[in-house]
């Protein structure tokens, strides 16, 4: 690993655990509901419940109410597409052509995330926390908005990342890690903002100059950070136990033969 890569990894590590206080949002309910899929002119895909033209701008309402929305110029919208109101995830039986098991073994998933983490200087436990929040490790997961696979890539995003099949775990993880790495770079390794952008889109983060005031996004950021902190603390505790065990073993007197 070169010096610049080491610097980036250290900088990311400093920003991560310090954000654990955001976990106060974790008790908020997940309000995800999307009845439309909106493709923006820049290629990004934004799920929403419904939209309306207000004062010459298009509002994408993120919930059934009208409190949470994102506004765009009409020229920034490419297409609207209706999404059937269906359960948050499509059961495995709905995807008969998939050859991949819905649940990978913990070892397989860990190895896959470790490879992606090494490629992008991302902590494997951070990637594991994102996967848990996005799909709970279900490689066949499909959201109501159409996001797919372990890291829940929208088709447009996946295509832009070179992912041909989002249901193939290795492709999905490579694409999702590449995208998340790009978001961390865009937001100067601010984990909370990168997570918010992964959930709500960079446009929403840029518009509000921070985590958008969407309960779903706030809960998502808190949930991932809480899980990541839990994993890191558990990893450190295990390292301390292993060190103590090794020290105790070394301190044992050697019995003469």
pLDDT digits (tens, 9 = 90+) for 232-251: 999 999 999 988 888 888 88
Q: Please state the rounded mean pLDDT for residues 34-56.
A: 76
Task: Count CB atoms within 10 A of the CB of residue 91.
Answer: 12
Beta bridge partners of 103: 138
- Whole-number pLDDT of residue 224: 95
Q: Please state the rounded mean pLDDT for residues 26-55.
A: 65
Kindly tell me if the per-residue pLDDT of 196 is higher than 50.
yes
- 248, 138 Cβ separation under 8 angstroms: no
- Cα atoms found within 13 Å of the Cα of residue 6, Cβ hemisphere only: 3
User: CA 170 to CA 113: how far, in whole Å?
Assistant: 9
Tokens representing 224? 């991932």
Task: Count CB atoms within 10 A of the CB of residue 102.
Answer: 16
What would the pLDDT profile of 58-111 be if each residue is shown by its tens digit? 887 777 777 667 778 888 888 888 765 443 334 433 433 444 444 578 899 999
- What lies within 8 Å, CB to CB, of 2 at 6+ separation is none
- 152, 199 Cβ separation under 8 angstroms: no
- Whole-number pLDDT of residue 25: 36
The residue extents of the domains of the chain are 3-30+99-237
The whole-model pTM stands at 0.63
Q: Please state the rounded mean pLDDT for residues 186-199.
A: 96
**Which contacts (CB < 8 Å, 24+ apart) does range 44-48 have?**
44/156, 44/157, 44/201, 44/202, 44/203, 45/146, 45/154, 45/155, 45/156, 45/157, 46/70, 46/201, 46/203, 47/83, 47/143, 47/144, 47/145, 47/146, 47/147, 47/154
Beta bridge partners of 46: 38
Tokens representing 201? 């889109």
Structural class in CATH, domain 3-30+99-237: mainly alpha
Q: Which residues are catalytic?
A: 134
User: CA 71 to CA 201: how far, in whole Å?
Assistant: 13
Q: Please, what is the Cα angle at 194 between 122 and 131, to 5 degrees? A: 60
Kindly tell me if the per-residue pLDDT of 191 is higher than 90.
yes
- Whole-number pLDDT of residue 110: 94
What's the pLDDT band for 180 if we cut at 50, 70, 90? very high
């Amino acid at each position: 690993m070169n010096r610049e890569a080491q610097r980036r990894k250290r900088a990311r590590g400093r920003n991560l655990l310090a954000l654990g206080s955001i976990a106060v949002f974790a008790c908020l309910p997940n309000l995800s509901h999307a009845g439309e899929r909106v493709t923006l002119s820049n290629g990004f895909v934004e799920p929403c419940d419904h939209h309306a033209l207000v004062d010459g701008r298009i509002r994408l309402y993120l919930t059934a109410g009208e409190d949470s929305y994102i506004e765009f110029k009409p020229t920034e919208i490419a297409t609207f597409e209706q999404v059937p109101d269906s359960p948050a995830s499509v059961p495995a039986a709905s995807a008969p052509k998939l050859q991949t098991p819905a649940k990978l073994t913990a070892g397989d998933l860990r190895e896959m995330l470790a490879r992606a983490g090494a490629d992008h200087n991302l902590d494997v436990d951070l990637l594991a926390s994102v996967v848990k929040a996005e799909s709970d490790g279900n490689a066949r997961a499909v959201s109501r908005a159409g996001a797919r696979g372990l890291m829940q890539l929208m088709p447009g995003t996946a295509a832009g990342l070179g992912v041909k099949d989002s249901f193939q775990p290795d492709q999905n993880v490579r694409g999702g890690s590449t995208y998340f790495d790009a978001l961390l770079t865009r937001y100067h390794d601010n984990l909370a903002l990168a997570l918010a952008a992964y959930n709500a889109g960079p446009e929403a983060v840029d518009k509000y100059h921070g985590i958008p005031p969407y309960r779903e996004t706030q809960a998502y950021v808190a949930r991932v950070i809480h899980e990541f902190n839990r994993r890191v603390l558990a990893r450190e505790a295990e390292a301390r136990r292993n060190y103590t065990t090794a020290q105790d073993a070394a301190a044992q007197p050697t019995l003469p033969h």
